[in-house]
Amino acid sequence: MRASRLKALDPTAPRDNRSDTDGILAPHRLNWLFDNCVFTKPIGPQLAGDPDSDGDGIGVYWEWSGEVNHRSYSTGIGLMAICEAVELDRVVESGPLAGWTYTDVARDTMDYLSWSQMDPNTGGSRGGWSYAGSDNGVFEWEPPWGAASDNSNAGWVSLGLGYAEVPPPEGCGFIIPQFVKDELNIWIDYIQNDVDGDTDDGGSGYSHPNDWVNILKTGNLVQQMALVGDTATTPRVLDALDYMARHWGDANDDPGWRGWPGDAVNYHATFTAMKGFTALGIHEFGDPPIDWQADFETVIPQQQLGDGSWPWCMYGDPILCTTWALLTLQKVAPPPEVQIDIKPGSDPNSINPRSRGVIPVAILTTEDFDAATVDPETVVFAGASPKHYALEDVDGDGDYDLILHFKTQETDIQPGDTEACLIGQTYDGLPIVGCDSVRIVPDRDCDGCSDGAELQENPALGGERDPDNPWDFYDVPVPTAFNGGTMDDRDQAVSMVNDVLAVLGYAGTSDGGACNAGPDGVPGNADDRCYNQDNNSDGEDDGLLYDRSVGATWSDAPDGAISILEDVLLVLAQAGHSCQGAP
């Protein structure tokens, strides 16, 4: 549990809220773990899928020498600590993994946990985790009390995987193998106590749904449900919350959390309950409503000792119990996932990382989440902040969604990426995260048509063009005058409305010349069309986006002046051409 203690020393608030001292001390605290507690082993495909996400055949596990029976616990906690507490490009300084980056260590730790999940041939243990890892149904060793999955081990593993999945700075930003979530979903359905009229209804058992049901393991269960995609209104989540409400006031430490009269709180149970609630963004539950955070903030500080620590508690010594108490009060968990739509209306979501345009991303309002509550100034998509945003009904379901636009070249999207993620906060400070698929397409000249589209033979689909000529596909951004003061990205199509009329609006302007009056017809206003303006803040004159010259194929580089006889006729000749959906 040393990693958990170090995690309490390194505050789990977002990195930009930490002091410089935290950033200096964190690597040295982790050095002890790298020197003493990390080990590698070969891993390979399992019955349910391949856990080796980076293809190196290596898994990393964490344990104190000789404590083999705590490997699942320690490895899950180690993954939490490294994904959340440090800069991921830092290099390990010593120990058996010296020279690895922290990202390398974290990824192979995730791969080990994926490998060690109980396989489809392990009966009721399937999809969970045990004290011993399962290699295609063969256990790493045989614990003296059996190798069945239990929702204590599985809880620590799923917490680690949660931090592996969340994008930086709160996590590592990895993609958990889908088979791991699918198998975990089977375990969740198994270990949750059936609703049949008894006091354990909806709670989590230990290794059997009727065995040792309590709030501690039900907190793990709720966090696991969040990890596989459940929401606060999913029926089995509501069953789990009903169980927790039924036992919330129990004056004991098992199945409750408050402790026996005169004894310490079960801080382990408060920690797992907090993780479950925060993973789904639950502030209150039960009828009448229970404010779980207010209860924890009232009871736990009352038990703090004069030296600042907390006393012995169930399952822990004062150091570990103090760690659980502090982490509970910090109330940090992987943010709840919201639904986003990259490039609404596109399928697949094709992105050229070299594009000089922007990427629209919508945060969608759903039954469980109101996108209007998101503070746009806190949103970061693939490392970039939005250039502009608005509330509008993106998906046509009658409610407001939040649409944001990000400059493509400011994102960290790279060739080979299959997913891009967004993080942010609501106005109430609730962190959010959302991810959507992307398809990276090569477009050497960044003109909006992929190389494959330009090399094929159908001009209407962008063909018969030079993939190294950025000017021969006359797709231009929607001007600010057409779009409420913002300049949109090119849409991979040449149309009368967006492109021909846009170029016509600039006709007569030139490099260093006068501006055209905007739609109001009054020169000198903000909506004027000027060759030398830079309305989209890309560092280039807007006129260069709308200016072309006659070329060998279709159109060529700007010549410094936009005219009807040359530019407007050139764009008219391409009207109706589209690269949307082209290879």
Query: Please, what sign has the CA dihedral across residues 16, 17, 22, 26?
Result: negative
Q: Following DSSP, what letter does each residue of 107-128 receive, concatenated?
A: HHHHHHHHHHSPPTTSGGGTTS
Share the mean pLDDT of the chain. 86
Claim to verify: residue 36 and residue 162 sit in the same structural domain: yes
* Per-residue pLDDT reduced to its tens digit, 305-362: 998 899 999 888 898 899 999 889 876 555 678 999 999 988 888 887 877 678 999 9
In a domain, 296, yes or no: yes
- The single residue listed with the structure tokens 């199945």 is 255
In a domain, 319, yes or no: yes
Taking CA atoms, 47 is separated from 95, 121, 180, 344, 346, in Å, by 33, 8, 11, 37, 35
What does the pLDDT read at residue 488? 52
Average confidence (pLDDT) over 503-510: 89
What does the pLDDT read at residue 165? 93
* Per-residue pLDDT reduced to its tens digit, 461-499: 888 888 888 888 888 876 644 444 444 566 778 888 788
> Of 237-251, 296-310, 543-557, which one has max mean pLDDT?
237-251
What does the pLDDT read at residue 6? 36
Residue 242, H or E segment:
helix 235-247
Whether pLDDT at 197 is above 90: yes
Paired sense of beta strands 290-291 and 284-285, if any = antiparallel
* Per-residue pLDDT reduced to its tens digit, 431-462: 888 999 998 877 778 777 888 888 888 888 88
Boundary-marking domain end, from 191, 214, 245: 191
The token duo for 324 is 């659980």
Claim to verify: residue 368 and residue 405 sit in the same structural domain: yes
Boundary-marking domain end, from 440, 462, 490: 440
In a domain, 447, yes or no: no
Look up the domain containing 111 and give its range.
1-191
The single-letter DSSP state of residue 348 is: S
Claim to verify: residue 292 and residue 232 sit in the same structural domain: yes
What does the pLDDT read at residue 42? 97
* Per-residue pLDDT reduced to its tens digit, 137-189: 998 887 766 779 999 999 999 999 999 998 887 889 999 999 999 999 999 99
In a domain, 196, yes or no: no
Claim to verify: residue 8 and residue 139 sit in the same structural domain: yes
Alpha-carbon span 336 to 25, nearest angstrom: 29
Alpha-carbon span 131 to 120, nearest angstrom: 17
Claim to verify: residue 381 and residue 261 sit in the same structural domain: no
Alpha-carbon span 314 to 266, nearest angstrom: 6
In a domain, 255, yes or no: yes
Claim to verify: residue 45 and residue 111 sit in the same structural domain: yes
Claim to verify: residue 123 and residue 171 sit in the same structural domain: yes
Total number of domains in the chain: 4
In a domain, 491, yes or no: yes
In a domain, 553, yes or no: yes
Residue 78, H or E segment:
helix 71-85
Claim to verify: residue 168 and residue 111 sit in the same structural domain: yes
Neighbours of 229 (CB within 10 A): 10
Whether pLDDT at 252 is above 50: yes
In a domain, 564, yes or no: yes
Lowest mean pLDDT among 216-225, 367-376, 443-452: 443-452
Boundary-marking domain end, from 440, 464, 494: 440
* Per-residue pLDDT reduced to its tens digit, 58-95: 999 999 877 788 899 999 999 998 987 667 888 998 99
> Of 108-112, 320-324, 429-433, 514-518, which one has max mean pLDDT?
108-112
Higher local confidence (pLDDT), 464 or 127: 127
Neighbours of 50 (CB within 10 A): 15
Claim to verify: residue 501 and residue 517 sit in the same structural domain: yes
Claim to verify: residue 329 and residue 347 sit in the same structural domain: no
Higher local confidence (pLDDT), 470 or 251: 251
Claim to verify: residue 43 and residue 100 sit in the same structural domain: yes
Residue 432, H or E segment:
strand 431-437
What does the pLDDT read at residue 580? 73
Claim to verify: residue 41 and residue 97 sit in the same structural domain: yes
Output 230-239 pairs: Cβ under 8 A, ≥24 positions apart: 230/280, 231/280, 231/367, 231/368, 232/280, 232/281, 232/282, 232/368, 233/367, 233/368, 236/188, 236/189, 236/192, 236/202, 237/280, 238/202, 239/192, 239/195, 239/201, 239/202
Answering whether pTM is above 0.85, one says no
